């Protein structure tokens, strides 16, 4: 099968097309013919070597952690999915480094899978898993947002931020977010009640007494400054210092936990019109396509998800 891989850590030129064997699946896995994947900041961070202390990968390494496609093979212990099912998932990160989603076929454990709603395309489905699950788990499980809460989402125009705004609004929260001026009306159309231009305004001059802060940009001190006593802050972009964690406000970091059941819940929200999938751009599964996609993600100018069309 065709895959896009890196043979060493470094810049986008290290992304190259290679041929790999189709993955062999375990008893609790399915094989998905991949129709689409998407780009997340973790992809180019991994390419640059930022994750090498976490995963003992051996080159070549296939990156990518979103998939949407059709099941072509099921393991002996798979009970709830069958060949021909249209699915989407955020697969596990495997230590061999060969099972990323920049490839024509992907092995996925059953508990990470959700059925793809017929109402959305494969490209839209591929834009959801990593970013959408991260937003859902932080907003619902970690920040415990409820109706009437005041929530700040730092970095609202990114892939995770867009989902977080909509999920928090669905729960009945008052939602503030930060973004450059060009994105203000767009974010308000998705449910943001207040959008602050971080280039021109310090958030603690306009916000105060917030129940929750979701930090996607590594601006922990800024978020703490507007939290009420005993408020909660969760970051996916930084590492809270001991001083920050010692404050009277609850501060923690979060790393996504792949979860097929929650992904199915997200699919239901999308079908119900509570959450929209925002796609910035679509590229092909070629070395050049993935390089351009990585460059766009790394520069931070995308509004919504960057998708790679595989089939």
Could you read off the pLDDT of 1-26 as tens digits, one per residue? 999 999 999 999 999 999 999 999 99
Strands 194-196 and 174-178, by their bridges, are parallel
What's the pLDDT at 10?
97
Tell me which residues of the chain have a pLDDT lower than 50. none
Mapped to the 3 state alphabet, what secondary structure does 36-100 carry?
A: EEEECHHHHHHHCCCCCCCCCCCCCEECCCCEEEEEEEECCCCCCCCCCCEEEECCCCCCCCCCC
Q: Which of 152, 66, 150, 154 has the alpha carbon at shortest distance from 102? A: 66
Please check whether residue 50 is in contact with residue 3, taking contact to mean a CB–CB distance below 8 angstroms. Answer: no
Rama region for 155: left / alpha / beta (φ>0; ψ in -120 to 50; rest): left
What's the pLDDT at 246?
87
Give the separation between CA 260 and CA 279, rounded to whole angstroms.
22
**197: Cα separation from own chain's centroid:** 23
Q: At 262, which helix (H) or strand (E)?
A: helix 260-271
CA dihedral 93, 94, 100, 105 (to 10 degrees): -120
Give the separation between CA 88 and CA 117, rounded to whole angstroms.
9
Task: Kindly state the tokens that stand for 212.
Answer: 């929750």
Q: Which of 298, 299, 284 has the alpha carbon at shortest distance from 102? A: 284
Q: Which residues contact 11 (CB under 8 A, 6 or more apart)?
A: none
CA-only gyration radius of the chain, Å: 19
User: What pTM value is reported for the model?
Assistant: 0.97
Q: What is the DSSP letter of 10?
A: S
Give the separation between CA 256 and CA 246, rounded to whole angstroms.
24
Give the separation between CA 244 and CA 222, rounded to whole angstroms.
11
Give the separation between CA 130 and CA 127, rounded to whole angstroms.
8
Strands (E), the chain: 2-6, 15-19, 29-39, 61-62, 67-74, 86-89, 105-109, 113-115, 150-154, 174-178, 194-196, 210-215, 227-235, 250-253, 279-284, 305-309
What's the pLDDT at 45?
96
């Amino acid at each position: 099968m065709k895959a896009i891989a890196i043979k060493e850590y470094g810049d986008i030129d290290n992304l190259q097309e290679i041929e790999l064997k189709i993955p062999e699946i375990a008893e609790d896995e399915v094989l998905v013919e991949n129709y689409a994947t998407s780009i997340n900041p973790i992809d180019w961070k991994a390419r640059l070597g930022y994750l090498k202390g976490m995963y003992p990968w051996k080159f070549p390494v296939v990156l990518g952690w979103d998939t949407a496609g059709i099941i072509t093979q099921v393991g002996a212990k798979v009970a709830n999915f069958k060949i021909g099912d249209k699915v989407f998932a955020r697969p596990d990160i495997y230590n061999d480094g060969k099972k990323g989603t920049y490839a024509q076929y992907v092995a996925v454990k059953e508990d990470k899978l959700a059925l793809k709603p017929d109402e959305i395309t494969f490209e839209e489905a591929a834009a959801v898993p990593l970013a959408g699950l991260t937003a859902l788990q932080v907003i619902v499980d970690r920040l415990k947002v409820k109706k009437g809460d005041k929530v700040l989402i730092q970095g609202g125009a990114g892939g995770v931020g867009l989902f977080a705004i909509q999920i928090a609004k669905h729960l009945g929260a008052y939602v503030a977010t930060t973004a450059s001026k060009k994105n203000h009306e767009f974010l308000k159309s998705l449910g943001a009640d207040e959008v602050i231009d971080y280039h021109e305004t310090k958030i603690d001059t306009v916000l105060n007494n917030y129940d929750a802060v979701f930090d996607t940009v590594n601006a922990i001190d800024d978020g703490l400054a507007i939290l009420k006593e005993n408020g909660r802050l969760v970051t996916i972009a930084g590492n809270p210092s001991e001083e920050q964690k010692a404050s009277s406000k609850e501060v923690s970091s979060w790393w996504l936990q792949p979860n097929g059941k929650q992904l199915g819940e997200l699919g239901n929200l999308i079908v119900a019109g509570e959450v929209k999938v925002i796609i910035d751009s679509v590229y092909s599964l070629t070395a050049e396509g993935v390089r351009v996609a990585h460059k766009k993600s790394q520069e931070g100018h995308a509004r919504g998800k960057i998708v790679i069309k595989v089939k």
